[in-house]
Amino acid sequence: MTSARVGRPAPADVRTVTCVGAGVIGGGWVAYFLARGYRVVAWDPAEDAEQRLRHLVSAAWPALTELGLADGASLEHLTVEHDLATACAQADFVQESAPEDLELKRALLARIDAATPVEVVISSSTSGYAMSEMQTACAHPERTVVGHPFNPPYLIPLVEVVGGAATSPEAVAWASDFFRHTGKSVITMEREVPGFIANRLQEALWREALHMVAAGEATVEQIDLSITDGPGLRWPVHGPMLTFHLAGGQGGMAHMLDHFGPSLQSPWTRLVAAELTPALRDAVVDGCDREADGRSIDDLVAERDRGVIAILRALGRA
Amino acid sequence: MTSARVGRPAPADVRTVTCVGAGVIGGGWVAYFLARGYRVVAWDPAEDAEQRLRHLVSAAWPALTELGLADGASLEHLTVEHDLATACAQADFVQESAPEDLELKRALLARIDAATPVEVVISSSTSGYAMSEMQTACAHPERTVVGHPFNPPYLIPLVEVVGGAATSPEAVAWASDFFRHTGKSVITMEREVPGFIANRLQEALWREALHMVAAGEATVEQIDLSITDGPGLRWPVHGPMLTFHLAGGQGGMAHMLDHFGPSLQSPWTRLVAAELTPALRDAVVDGCDREADGRSIDDLVAERDRGVIAILRALGRA
């Protein structure tokens, strides 16, 4: 079944979002799109999927209500379909959140592609597969993109958007615009990198943590405490790069790299460091300057301090 | 010069803290101890050290005042000494925060050790050296410990405490008690691991980020945005382990490892994964259960949601 519509709807004209897969991530998307005022059609092959989905959405709704629902947002705008093709035929946008299994996703995307009006963009929540690998069985791969969210999708703003080899740049731009229109914070990637950006960083930390537990170097509880009471309090304010920009005092990242650069060779993680070439040093220093965008070190220190204090207070720990 | 005092003062009886090194970290310690009501004696060999230190402490003071100063806390309780031995002779506790250079720290700790009353604990802010390496030139290495803070030491609660081969377990316990008494969150490590705990995790993330910039996979700005708007919002609430406990739905970390375990073999970071042996799986699952301490998955989800919303609001982003 294909729509009679010619061309893609404008991002602001999307009314119905179809969510394929209704586990923790898919269900989180359902809650998010409902809260933003969309009609949501969900499909999941599990026997108890609808019950689990409604449990998850109900659990998220108080938080979403507190944050502010869009006009007309309602739990009653959720329909659970038992037939995938029926679910996809109604979509102005499709978000796929199936289990992380390449063959499964490849086959499922082909079924979604066959059932979804040809102008509608299909986005995958995959945690790290390239769309180039997943879109190979689609008749219309040009409208398939990765739209990678973070748990819970109804609260964490970030979505990483990237296309595959057969994706049209226009579909990537449309998906980025659509997610932004819904209120998401979007990173549009120019090229496919396994794990995208945030998951690569998070995965490096997670793997080091697993090594440490395996080697008896730290307990699970020590690892969590080391982050909740340590660097984790700075990262939501400035991210890892601008945080280290402030580790160099008035000299900023340039001084930090010159001062701590040699410690990149220290055995402080199992991950071998990048070679700190002049080009890499300059790219990091220049990137921090661009990101600081005129804010002085003193400005950023004051901003960080306000942020950390606000977080400590918000979490009842000040 | 040694004190006539017999035995170490109780942690609650410390009155004067000597801070050796007054850069970003040392100066942050000065601000922290002043705010907690201590008399602080600072020493730094740099010509303009006192001016920079007073600038840093003044900049931090509004934040510390807002958080609440201890009774009697005052900027007037700061003395900058021009002679290291004079500074150390007055100490009930010494915190060393010199540049990250092993030979420099080894020599400096020996000078501090020679000038500090023998019962007084000497702590180093080193970012990753083992005290076993740094204490070798001390006559009384038994009272030397690592007390590793995070920038800014006046706001980030965490201090990692660990002794060296020649450190007495009693000095490690005393330092942990003292830092806790001042209001710090303390992780006492049983063994020396290069980079301790939080820095190993942070360093793995940082090195992956540098590799990504070097390879053109992400810009500095994308890396920071991916954390501030993504996983960085969850880490202050639960840390990386309990965060992933919630990625598995009602099945928790056990389901998460069974479901995403294979992705440990994915090329999502340059860090090779630990082998997910049954022992490691059980250690992580059991650790999460201990840390959850009776809180159900639903409890933790609600707690995370409240925390993320509070952080978004605190940072003006809700």
Per-residue 3-state assignment (H helix, E strand, C coil) for A264-295: HHCCCCCCCCCCCCHHHHHHHHHHHHHHHCCC
How would residue A266 be classed by pLDDT, with cut points 50, 70 and 90? confident
- Same domain assignment for residues A147 and A238: no
Closest CB from A152, A232, A240 relative to B224:
A240
Same-domain pairing of A66 and A149: yes
* pLDDT at residue A6, rounded to an integer: 59
Residue where a domain stops, chosen among A124, A156, A188: A188
- The pLDDT tens digits of the residues spanning B48-78 come to 999 999 999 999 999 899 889 999 999 999 9
Segment B146-159 shows an average pLDDT of 97
| Residue A261 with chain B: CB contacts under 8 Å | none
Place of tokens 């109900």: A58
- Answer yes or no: is A200 within a domain: no
Distance CA A190, CA B32 (A): 44
Mean per-residue pLDDT of chain A: 95
Give the range among A94-108, A254-268, B48-62, B193-207 with minimum mean pLDDT.
A254-268
Q: Do B77 and B180 lie in a common domain?
A: yes
Do B181 and B39 lie in a common domain? yes
Say whether both B62 and B157 belong to one domain: yes
A146 and A25 fall within a common domain: yes
Same domain, B184 and B270: no
B203:A317 CB<8 A: no
Q: Which B-chain residues 205-264 have CB contacts (< 8 A) with chain A? A: 205-214, 217-244, 246-249, 259-260, 263-264
Q: Find out whether B200 and A269 touch, Cβ atoms under 8 Å.
A: yes
Task: Give me A159's structure tokens.
Answer: 């979505």
Same domain, A173 and A261: no
Contacts of A151 in chain B (CB under 8 A): 234, 243, 246-247
Angle at B116 (CA atoms; ends B111, B122), nearest 5 degrees: 85
B230 neighbourhood in chain A, CB within 8 Å = 150, 156-158, 198, 202
User: In which domain, by residue range, is B266 found?
Assistant: 230-314
**Residue among A191, A211, A220 with most chain B CBs within 10 A, to mutate:** A220
pLDDT digits (tens, 9 = 90+) for B65-111: 988 999 999 999 999 999 999 999 999 999 999 998 999 999 999 99
Average pLDDT over residues A211-215: 97
Q: Which residues of A touch B283 (CB under 8 A)?
A: 213-214, 220
Please report, for residues A73, B54, B214, the alpha-carbon distance to residue B221 in angstroms, rounded to integers and kept in the order given.
Answer: 34, 32, 14
**B235 & B183 share domain:** no
A206 domain residue, yes or no? no
Chain A residues 180-199 within an 8 A CB cutoff of chain B: 185, 187, 189, 191, 193-199
Residue A291 lies in a domain: yes
The B residues from 114 to 173 touching A (CB cutoff 8 Å) are 127-128, 150-152, 155-158, 160
Average pLDDT, stretch B120-129?
A: 95
The answer to whether residue B87 is domain-embedded is: yes
In a domain, B286, yes or no: yes
Domain end position, chosen among B188, B205, B222: B188
- A249 shares a domain with A146: no
> CB distance B201–A221 less than 8 Å?
no
pLDDT band at A263 (very low <50, low <70, confident <90, very high): confident
Whether the per-residue pLDDT at B1 is higher than 70: the answer is no
Mean pLDDT score, A207-219? 97
Task: Collect all residues of chain A within an 8 Å Cβ-Cβ radius of residue B199.
Answer: 268
Rounded to two decimals, the ipTM of the complex is 0.95
Q: What is the CATH number of the domain that holds B92?
A: 3.40.50.720
Amino acid at residue number A99: P
Strands B158-163 and B144-148: antiparallel
Q: Which residue of A has its CA nearest to B205?
A: A201
- pLDDT by residue (tens digit) across A71-125? 999 999 999 999 999 999 999 999 999 998 999 999 999 999 999 999 999 999 9
User: Residue B6 — very low, low, confident or very high, per pLDDT cuts 50/70/90?
Assistant: low
A151 plus A250 within the same structural domain: no
Beta strands in chain B (DSSP E): 16-20, 39-43, 78-80, 93-96, 121-124, 144-148, 158-163, 185-188
| A186 and A161 Cβ atoms separated by less than 8 Å | yes
pLDDT mean over B202-219: 97
- Number of compact structural domains in chain A: 2
Is A2's pLDDT higher than 50? no
Beta carbons of A271 and B272 less than 8 angstroms apart = no
Q: Let me know if residue B198 belongs to a domain.
A: no
Give the model's pLDDT for residue A3.
Answer: 42
Q: Which residues of B touch A228 (CB under 8 A)?
A: 235-239
Residue B195 falls inside a structural domain: no
CB-based contact A311 B314, cutoff 8 Å? yes
**B185's tokens:** 């969150």
Domain boundary among A157, A188, A219: A188
Q: Are B98 and B21 in contact (CB under 8 A)?
A: yes
The answer to whether residues A158 and A291 belong to one domain is: no
